């Protein structure tokens, strides 16, 4: 009976470590600089960079276009990347999906929703 419990506990432990390792791999795969293009916005806001960094086992980052803005509430889960930024007194919510070296999604703001596409720069 104790052997069954022991095996069951071992399987649960292995599963938890596998999930943690998978999440870490996905997050690590995001680290780097991504050049973005935003549709239907004024020219000065159309291009820039998303920079993702791993610091103290935590994913951090910033956007860089007309200004450098910290990514807040950054989450990465199974290829879905979400975060918010603030610029000129407005909040912007990014919802992106990663497929290889491409991020695609939307930016929601008080000015409307805008499509965004980013390509990884080097590895």
- The pLDDT value given to residue 1: 54
pLDDT classification of 16: cutoffs 50, 70, 90? very low
pTM: 0.75
Map tokens 């980052």 to a residue. Answer: 61
Taking CA atoms, 106 is separated from 7, 37, 95, 96, in Å, by 45, 11, 5, 7
Spatial distance between the Cα atoms of 55 and 51, rounded to a whole number of angstroms: 13
Q: What is the mean pLDDT of the chain?
A: 83
Greater pLDDT, 81 or 17: 81
> If we measure between CA atoms, which residue out of 57, 58, 56, 55 comes closest to residue 74?
58
For residues 41-63, average pLDDT: 94
Question: CA angle at residue 66 from 61 to 72, to 5 degrees?
Answer: 25
Of the candidate ranges 55-59, 72-76, 83-87, 107-111, the one whose mean pLDDT is the lowest = 55-59
- The pLDDT value given to residue 7: 56
Q: What percentage of the chain carries pLDDT values higher than 90? A: 66
Total domains in the chain come to 1
- The pLDDT value given to residue 4: 56
Phi, psi of 44 (to 5 degrees): -65, -15
| Boundaries of domain holding 39 | 2-120
The CATH number of the domain holding residue 26 is 2.40.128.120
Of the candidate ranges 26-30, 68-72, 95-99, 113-117, the one whose mean pLDDT is the lowest = 26-30
């Amino acid at each position: 009976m104790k052997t069954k419990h022991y095996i069951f506990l071992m399987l649960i432990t292995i599963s938890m470590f596998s999930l943690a390792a998978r999440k870490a791999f996905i997050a690590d795969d995001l680290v780097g600089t991504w050049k973005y293009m935003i549709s239907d916005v004024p020219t000065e806001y159309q291009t820039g960079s998303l920079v993702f960094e791993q610091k103290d086992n935590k994913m951090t980052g910033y956007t860089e276009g007309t200004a450098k803005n910290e990514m807040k509430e950054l989450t990465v889960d199974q290829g879905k990347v979400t975060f918010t930024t603030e610029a000129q007194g407005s909040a912007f919510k990014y919802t992106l999906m990663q497929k290889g070296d491409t991020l695609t999604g939307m930016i929601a703001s008080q000015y409307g929703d805008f499509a965004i596409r980013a390509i990884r720069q080097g590895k």
